[in-house]
Copies of this chain bind each other. A is one copy, B any other.
Amino acid sequence: MATPPPAPHRAKGRPRSATADRAILAATREALAEVGWGGLSIGQVALRAGVAKTTLYRRWPSKNELVMDAVATQLEELEVTDLGSLRADIEDVVGQFAALLSRPETQAALLALFAEGTRDAQLRKRIRETIVDPQKRLVRQGRANAQARGELDPDRDEAAAAEEIDIIFDTIAGTVEHRMLVSGEPVTPEWISRFTTLLLNPLPGFRA
């Protein structure tokens, strides 16, 4: 949501150009996809965005923050839907995820961010709050819808339900991420269907 860069910005003099903001963040994503985190040069981003190098330094204190914002502005289009059945809703969520992760710029930016997160606890926390938790909402909502439709037993234990939401979200998000970001294989509707089946049903042929 176009996180207004962290400067106080008292509304007195010339306001910061929102156009420049968008150009910078888009340029950051493009550059990241082309040259990677290591090759990401502030100077190059500025040049590509048609902006002075100093403007970038004035707004973002570090590469982390810049990339964080560049990614965050791309992740706001996920929507909760109610397609009438749990299976359809899950397939829809998986499809949205896959679409989101299909852009090369998003792939590079996200993984670079995750990599930095392993060294920076504060960044990792921001990633959770800004990226992971909002997405988890989809699962929570979808589960509530399924309950309202009578597809699931009502919860007895609230804590257990929350834990189940966590684990289901980790499974959905992680599996799609692994397939698309690590292996680089496509997520087709057929694959989504098989994956959803695995999630909803016992392992095929398994006798519990």
Q: Does A40 sit within 8 A of B, measured CB to CB?
A: yes
Say how many copies of this protein the assembly contains. Answer: 2
Q: Does A205 sit within 8 A of B, measured CB to CB?
A: yes
- Say yes or no: A170-B163 contact (C-beta < 8 A), given A203-B200, A206-B200: no
- Say yes or no: A36-B152 contact (C-beta < 8 A), given A167-B198, A174-B176, A174-B178: no
Q: Does A95 sit within 8 A of B, measured CB to CB?
A: no
CA separation between A205 and B160, bound complex, in Å? 12
Excluding A114-B182, A170-B178, 8 further A-B contacts by CB distance (< 8 Å) are A35-B119, A36-B116, A86-B206, A151-B206, A170-B179, A171-B171, A177-B177, A198-B199
A-B contact pairs, 20 of them (CB 8 A): A33-B118, A34-B119, A36-B119, A104-B118, A112-B115, A114-B115, A117-B184, A118-B181, A128-B183, A152-B207, A167-B195, A170-B178, A170-B179, A171-B175, A173-B178, A174-B174, A174-B175, A174-B176, A174-B182, A178-B178
